Amino acid sequence: MNKFSLKIFTLILAFVMFTGYTHADEGMWLPMLVKRLNEADMKANGLRLTAEEIYSGNNSSLKDAIFGLGYGDPSWNFCTSEAISSKGLLLTNHHCAFDMIQNHSSVKNDYLTDGFWAKNMSEELPNEGITASVLVKMEDITKRVKKALDGLSLDDQAVKLEEVKAEIIAEHTKGTHYKGYIKDFFYGNEYYLFISEVFLDVRLVGAPPSSIGKFGGDTDNWMWPRHTGDFSLLRIYAGKDGKPAPYSVDNVPLKPKHSLPVSMKGVQEGDFSMVFGFPGSTQRFKTSYGLDVDYAVTNPARIKLREKRLSLMKEQMDIDAKTRIAYASKYAGISNYYKYFIGQNAGLKRLKTIDKKRVEEKEYQVWADGSKNEAYSTALSRLDKAYSSSVDYSLWSVYLQEAFFGSEILQFGASFIQLQRTLAAGVNEENQAQVDAMIEKLKTSSKEHFEEYSATVDKNVTGALLGMFYTDIDKQYHPDILARIAGENGGDFNKYANVIFENSAFATEEKTMKFLENPNPEVLEKDPVMQFISSVLGVYYAKIRPQSSVANEEVAAAMKDYVAGLLIKNKKKTYYPDANSSLRLSYGNVEDYSPKDGVQYQYFTTLEGVAEKYVPNDGEFDAPKALLEMQMSKEYGKYADKDGTLHVGFITNNDITGGNSGSPVINGNGELIGLAFDGNWEAMTGDLVYDEQYKRCINVDIRYVLFCIDKLAGAAHLIDEMNLVRAKKGK
């Protein structure tokens, strides 16, 4: 069946099953619901597995190969990874492992620049605090939760909900080492229980040099065509009983319940593709009122503040190698979403998303008014009022996050607030142990803070951002200290930054450690950092938090009613819940696209593109000499495509968002064909609305990953661990 016929068949099937059915490529679906909601449509698109082979609570299935990378709490993951061998070998993105690579790097052993490859398991590097969690099972508990909350006031519901959650989690984890958590969906209209196994010993196995793993840098970020080898390898270790255990030399590689076979077949346009992972957050039910605030208020502020931070950081990173390494991860994180907010606003404008939302809301209001249900009929007016009343508070909150705590010394000082309060209240025999533990924890975090820190960068950033707050925020919401600082320094906040760094106990590691050896509440009370933080918190607790909390509660309550109404109004439509870091799958096909008139992007890129973009000694477009030599000689071996080229990346129309980074791209047979690592510029509104025409998922071709491991790194022993599925002759 050709692609055109396949699409027509899919559309007909969808229409027969569900009037108003979501587009086949749209949606981040809960895996336990695949059999009921998606199996027929997925098979029409090319899936050859059963729903049971994708998700099973009792037997081995694809979901057992998917691991969320986090910091101990399985309810939130910063990235996704997947098991690709029976020895716990994990594949994820280079940018997901970036912090780990950086933490093990130094000027002498610059793994960011040179790459890292363990020659054997004894050389694999531990990463304290990093965990890998796998879903054991999930369960719909909506009926039980709603029954417990029925008839209670909103305040009583909040209390009862926490009680019921704890009760359910205890029932399902008693006598086990599993961790449970509960998430609400559709703004509190549904609830699901998740039981996970969390592994505590995750080690770095290999990473290509940044000239491969970050090829294209900020310039190519969110862009297609792409030539980035965005991958790294980790390994999960467990105790000898196969259960999670803290790092120990006695631990052994985990044998996962399932590991993904690795396809050597390559991809063709129209091929089925499934992305399986932990997407972080979407807000696709958000109304025009909320989008108005994003577009006109908060996004422009974030763009402005991040642009300033990045420029000041880059100045010093270009001058000093040590600063470049120390700030590489920070810079990448700030830059990533700086560009994201720019693209999101551009997309909202181009797609006229807010106007379309208003049309939908008018249709909803007509239905709601006829429903005779007050909660449904007043939901939109309540949202309008809540968002309108909170604009100033929303902007202030952005400046709190991006300006006040964009200053590292202020953010660092804030971690001492609890100690300050405890010392001020008095230390006695009853709380001495608590204080001692607090101090030891602060010593550890302080050491970590100064390992990746430049006072020069921070001083410049602090002065600039505080000046921007003073200029941009209405003076009725200024901390009292700002007016005094402006007066004493002639409005020059760079002068005040100098005062902070000359007099604060948090300016250097030596000063901080000296204070922690003999902590004194009077020292903290007089410290300029703590004085500034105290003034900021004074405004927050007196003016911002009370009003913004009321507005947020009103938005939450009105959104619950609005979404409940939508589900009833469009009962023939199959909805998927917003992403919330729970395990999801999306499915679609390999597909090219046209970003604008006269331009057509094909669905794959090759190593030829690396050579075309190559700029010697450039921070973004440099490339390893060995890679370029292989490109010239075309020595790709078994990793070449049937057209003779080495494919680097490919695109699909899979629905993804942040958190999906590192997710496997799986073909119809359940085999790994690539690694998702980015979205495309033309669909930056993806967290707010799925763009059927432009939405693309950017993936690194698994054959390029294998090529880099084998031919460039000389780590064929890692290839030997994998189950490679080779193409049949003639195909």
For residue 580, give the nearest of 227, 269, 304, 186 by alpha carbon: 186
State the catalytic residue, choosing from 230, 271, 691, 701. Answer: 230
> In whole angstroms, what is the distance from residue 670 CA to residue 664 CA?
10
Q: Give the contacts of 54 (CB within 8 A, at least 6 positions apart).
A: 31, 34, 61, 62, 63, 585, 670
Q: Give the contacts of 300 (CB within 8 A, at least 6 positions apart).
A: 345
Compute and round to an integer the Cα radius of gyration of the chain.
27
State the catalytic residue, choosing from 81, 94, 95, 701. Answer: 95
Q: What six digits make up the tokens of 631? A: 């490109």
> In whole angstroms, what is the distance from residue 113 CA to residue 321 CA?
11
In the residue annotation, 104 being an active-site residue is answered as no
Question: Strand pairing of 232-238 and 89-92?
Answer: antiparallel
- Work out whether the CA dihedral 87, 91, 96, 100 comes out positive or negative: positive
In the residue annotation, 230 being an active-site residue is answered as yes
Ramachandran quadrant class, 670 (left: phi over 0; alpha: psi -120 to 50; beta: rest):
left
For residue 259, give the nearest of 80, 92, 86 by alpha carbon: 86
Q: What six digits make up the tokens of 299? A: 């996004």
Helix or strand run (H / E) with residue 160: helix 154-173
> In whole angstroms, what is the distance from residue 224 CA to residue 202 CA?
32
State the catalytic residue, choosing from 259, 661, 663, 691. Answer: 661
Q: What six digits make up the tokens of 234? A: 């980790």
Helix or strand run (H / E) with residue 3: helix 3-17
SS3 sequence, 633-652?
HCCCHHHCCCCCCCEEEEEE
Q: What six digits make up the tokens of 691? A: 């763009």
Is residue 701 a contact partner of residue 645, using CB atoms and an 8 Å limit? Answer: no
> In whole angstroms, what is the distance from residue 631 CA to residue 611 CA?
8
Q: Which residue has the tokens 């429903």?
A: 371
In the residue annotation, 110 being an active-site residue is answered as no
Q: What six digits make up the tokens of 413? A: 């000082």
Catalytic residues: 95, 230, 661
